[in-house]
Amino acid sequence: MLFTAARRVITSVVICATTVISLNPLLATSAHANEQAHPLFSAYPGADADYYRHIDYDQFQLPTSAVVADNTFSSISAQGAVTRHLYEIKQVSTTQVYQNYLQAVKAAGFSLVFSCELAACGFEDGQAIGSLLSIRDNVYNYFRKPYYLLTKKGAATGPVYAAWYIGSYEENVWAHQVIIEGKKLVTDLIKVDTTALTVKEQPVAAISADELAKDHPLLSRYPGADLEGFEKIDTEIAKVPVPGKAALNLQGDLARHTYEIDQVSSLKVFENYQHALQKAGFSALALCKLAECGDTQTVEALGGPLSVQNSVYNFHRNPYYLLSKLSVGGQEHYVALLIGAYDGKVRVQQLILSTKTVQTDLVKADASELKRQLDSAGKALIYGIYFDTGKAEIKPESDAALAEIAKLLQQHHSLKLYVVGHTDDTGDSAANQTLSEQRASAVVAKLTGSYQIAASRLQAHGVGPFAPASNNTSAAGKQLNRRVELVQKL
């Protein structure tokens, strides 16, 4: 495998060698506390750990050749727990630091995979090697008098690799250390409970903030994950991205969750979600990994619609996207995930949608209830009068509501009403206002023509989207805004 790296620029010093690196017994697993030295190797005496990062499971490319003129080199891929340090050591030579690490790994029984010294590290002093190992992705000025060392040792859980790039600037040395402890990827950390999908729909009720804060009953969170944000919407329309294709337009109960996890790779989190969904019988509709997901802008477009904040922010690195589907009990259940990394953390943008149609029988109109609303509020809301989209012809299923309005007027002979049409905010507002007045006029015409209500008792008006009863950001809210109101006229 060949790696390429960007060119770097910028001056030198040396001294000699002794044995000052100590080796701890090889550990199959280990706890890493903040910026302490790795349990396998002590830090060089007096070294400052400027940067530290531990990822529980990840892939890492390790250089196995000198850098050639086109800034490329060969490498091998290693998987496991990845721990990286950047040590700064004052007033010492790269030769002395290198010889101490070399003696320590030999004493521990590590075998040499590849090493290079000074000019033998290749083009531009092997800066590309150091930049690959560096937590900062750059060796900056510290490429002078370079040494690179890659070693390997077998262990019960898998091979252990230890690598260093050591370079100097003026009288100081930077040592970039990478240790990879091979181990099997654990893929059973996410649980799917499909029994949550068989629960019968309950009557619509307010959901407390405490209930919303909980995980979706279908899918557990990754162990140790913090919930950064959430939302749950009854009967919403959502566009769910499909890499390289048109988005799916879905309608149903929608839940979004954003989780953040420390010191783990996006690979491990993805593998666990994928394993859990496959085990539960979900089929994958779309999948992309890493570079397959596209450039930064493309990844952000995949994750934004899944995110509570409509943005993945910096978590577009090392991305994995998965869209899965399960059909149970006449419903289709979709799970969409964008998993990305940034600065040693992983964020999971999770969208779960269970399809269903909008309930249209939540509000009932009868003459006595309409009179009660008029007496208490001066107006009554009617949701049982139906029109096709963009039209003002009353549909036959509106007859029950119209009959109750007529009954109200027949029981109260002195009652006069403004019939006011309302729309949601979809489309042009002026056109919506005109449409709402046409619909109100159609209601008046129906009452006077079919039910012989005197025209002098009714007056039609339309206010379009300008007096909403709910929000216009959800399907349920828009449904409440599309209505006819009866307003008492003096």
In a domain, 436, yes or no: yes
Same domain, 282 and 215: yes
First to last CA, the chain: 85
CATH of the domain at 442: 3.30.1330.60
Burial (CB < 10 A; 0-12, 13-18, 19+), residue 203, is: exposed
In a domain, 399, yes or no: yes
pLDDT tens-place values along the chain, 490 residues long: 444 443 333 222 232 334 455 554 333 333 333 457 888 899 999 999 999 999 989 999 999 999 999 999 999 999 999 999 999 999 999 999 999 999 999 999 999 999 999 999 999 999 999 999 999 999 999 999 999 999 999 999 999 999 999 999 999 999 999 999 999 888 888 888 887 776 444 443 343 445 335 788 888 889 888 899 988 888 888 999 999 999 999 988 899 999 999 989 999 999 999 999 999 999 999 999 999 999 999 999 999 999 999 999 999 999 999 999 998 877 889 999 999 999 989 999 999 999 876 555 555 568 888 888 889 889 988 878 888 888 999 998 888 889 999 999 999 999 999 999 999 988 899 999 999 999 999 999 999 999 999 999 999 999 999 998 888 877 767 877 888 999 999 8
Same domain, 177 and 221: no
Same domain, 40 and 72: yes
Same domain, 128 and 244: no
In a domain, 473, yes or no: yes
Same domain, 316 and 221: yes
Same domain, 16 and 140: yes
Boundary-marking domain end, from 140, 159, 181: 181
Same domain, 234 and 315: yes
CA nearest to 51, candidates 344, 435, 275: 344
Q: What is the CA radius of gyration of the chain?
A: 33
Same domain, 349 and 382: no
The domain total for the chain is 3
pTM of the predicted model as reported, rounded to 2 decimal places: 0.51
Boundary-marking domain end, from 335, 355, 375: 355
In a domain, 188, yes or no: no
Boundary-marking domain end, from 126, 152, 181: 181
Residue 145 near residue 93, CB atoms below 8 Å = yes
Burial 426-461 (b: 16+ CB within 10 A, else e): eeeeeebbbbbbbbbbbbbebbbeeeebeeebbbbb
DSSP string over 227-266: EEEEEEEEEEEEEEEETTEEEEEEEEEEEEEEEEEES--H
List, in sequence order, the alpha helices (H) in 11-76.
none
In a domain, 189, yes or no: no
In a domain, 427, yes or no: yes
Same domain, 97 and 222: no
**Integer Cα distance of 64 and 456 in angstroms:** 93
**Integer Cα distance of 305 and 239 in angstroms:** 7
Same domain, 332 and 405: no
In a domain, 360, yes or no: no
Tell me the residue length of the chain: 490
In a domain, 12, yes or no: yes
Same domain, 332 and 376: no
Same domain, 12 and 91: yes
Range of the domain at 275: 194-355
